[in-house]
Structure 1
Amino acid sequence: MPLVRIDVTENRRTPEQLRALADVVQDVMLDTFAAPPRDRYQIVTEHRPGQIIAEDTGLGLARTDDLVVVQVVQQGRSEAQKQAMYRALADRLEQRTGLDPQDLIVSVTENTREDWSFGRGVAQFLTGEL
């Protein structure tokens, strides 16, 4: 059950391009994180130019205003799954949207079953509904 935030600079992509970006991310979640079908929780946020500041951390990366930051909140994925997800995102976003892999930052955060409520004020993982 990944929760994915996708941050981009506004006015760099059409609504259709944003949806394509989100669709690629979802496909990768299904393939590398074994997310169940229809388990899609994504928040796409556009920021004014200059509101995403991402330097290259000394790696020699050439960032542009096409930068995409993907944050994934999840539970129980292995190191191998995470590495597969990073690679698949870079490859597929480049192939399907033209995103330069240098313009992709991905961060994964772990939480537990007790950290989720999908509605009605209930922790469905703890009640056995999920």
Structure 2
Amino acid sequence: MPFVRIDALRADAERLDALGRAVHDALQETIGIPPEDLFQVLNGHQGTNSTLRYGSYLGPDRDDGIVYIAITMRSGRTPAQKQTLYRRIAELAHTYAGAEPRNVFVTVTENTSTDWSFGHGVAQYAGSAGT
């Protein structure tokens, strides 16, 4: 059950939707997330009252096309699976939303099953070994 937050500079609803689809499709393809497992927060920042900052750390020549993607999910994926996920997100973000791969910044935070509640104040995954 990934929880995804996407922040993009000067992104309208159409671009945000395309970015959300790119991430969800990549999660399905690379780590087997079910199609109905869709929990996302999509934010566009206009650049004045709300903006995103970026630097040139580790080389990419980023610009105002920056897209930050934060994924929280249960632990258990290998480094190779994560690398495949990052690559596929960048490819699909480019295909669906025109995002330059150099501007696609992804972070994954992992946790355990008891760190999730899907509602009703219940940790539905507690005691299970689900994905």
Report the 3-state secondary structure (helix = DSSP H, G, I; strand = E; otherwise coil) of the residue aligned with 1:18. Answer: helix
Question: 1:73-116 CA distances to partner (integer Å, 9 max, x unpaired)?
Answer: 01122211100001101112112221111111000101000100
Contact 1:8 / 1:68 at 8 angstroms: preserved in 2? yes
CA–CA distance in structure 2, aligned partners of residues 53 and 99 of structure 1: 16
Matched with 1:41 is 39
Superposition RMSD in Å: 1.6
Choose 94-103 or 23-32, whichever is displaced more: 94-103
Q: Is the 8 A contact 2:71 2:109 kept in 1?
A: yes
Seq. identity, %:
38
3-state SS of 1:55 partner: coil
Normalising by structure 2, report the TM-score.
0.88
Aligned counterpart, 1:25: 23
Q: What does 1:36-115 correspond to in 2, within 5 Å? A: 36-49=34-47, 51-59=51-59, 61-75=60-74, 76-115=76-115
2:23 maps to a residue whose letter is V
Between 45-54 and 66-75, report the one with greater CA deviation: 45-54
- Structure 1: state its 5+ residue gaps: none
Kindly tell me the number of residue pairs found equivalent between the two proteins: 126
Would you say the 8 A contact 2:11–2:46 is kept in 1? Answer: no
| Cα distance in 1, alignment partners of residues 43 and 20 from structure 2 | 11
CA contact (8 A) 1:70 1:105 kept: yes
- Structure 1 segments, 4+ long, off by >4 Å, are none
CA contact (8 A) 1:49 1:65 kept: no
Q: Any conservation in 2 of the 1:21–1:97 contact (CA below 8 Å)?
A: yes
Q: Deviations over 1:12-60 (max 9, x none)?
A: 333122111111111011111211220011111222416311101141x
Partner SS state of residue 83, structure 2: helix
